[in-house]
A and B are shown apart, each in its own frame.
Chain A
Amino acid sequence: MTVYLELTREFNAGRTRAILCNGQAVALLRLAIASKDGDWILREDEEALSHVRSVLARHGAQYRFGAPLDLDWLRGGWSAHLEFPWHGLRVRTDFSTRPPRLSGAELEELWAQQDQRDIPFTPPKPLLRIKQTGREKDWPIVGELARLLTDPGEQILYSRSPQDILRLLADHPSLAGELTLRRPALAAAKGGLAALRMALDQDATS
């Protein structure tokens, strides 16, 4: 993890240009022990990309398959992938400026929240949105991230645990109607644990 924290500081020397996300952010939230890659969301401007390229050049980085670390492609939603050797390890670094599923407003809020922090990293809610992939392997982490949310309505919307949802709905019954409109699987909560579990398994939006 140390190398990814050091890199984050180097990327952000003098100005916040890079927010650590995905696996390293999950590790910083203590939901995983470690992650083998580093992923960053970068500011979408030429100075930021030029600085990050210069840091990577100092480390002797080389491109892996992907787009160039360049505004024209990152603006289109592409990501750039590079790697370099470090104390016998291969450090893999991935960069984007427009992570999937985060709206422009969510991204702006993230930059505002993380600006000037020693190690800027994605907090639970945007991280959860980024991890809402179609891959089954990401679902457990989405469920754990939902448990870190402070707003009970958001916990109900994003939780993967039928037990958690039933408990939260019992504690906040007035939320059920509105949230069910946004997450139809919640309607199954009326049928109890087994029904809700089945509905969550089929819930394409969770």
Chain B
Amino acid sequence: MDADEARLRRFIEASSRLRARWPALATELAGLPLPSAHERLLLEATECLPKTPRTTDS
């Protein structure tokens, strides 16, 4: 379970930048149909959500 906790921590840490931006982004996405919201989220994720979370304990 230590591995599970480390995994969870890794994902939480890796998502911190997206989490910080989420309130404003969620408001923006709410006004868009899903295909457009998806494209918008892709842009944001490319900038601030690593595709593979990595830390020293991974």
Contacts and interface: CB of A to CB of B under 8 A. Distances in A.
Contacts of B38: 53, 63, 68-70
Interface residues of A, number: 27
A189 B43 CA distance: 55
Interface of A: 53, 56-57, 60-65, 67-70, 72-73, 75-78, 82, 100-101, 132-134, 204-205
Contact of B34 (A57, A65, A70, A75): A57
Contacts of B33: 57
A67 B18 CA distance: 9
Interface of B is mostly: helix
Interface of A is mostly: loop
Given A53-B34, A68-B41, 10 more contacts: A56-B34, A57-B34, A62-B30, A63-B37, A63-B41, A76-B50, A78-B11, A78-B49, A101-B4, A204-B1
B2 interface: yes
A77 B4 contact: no
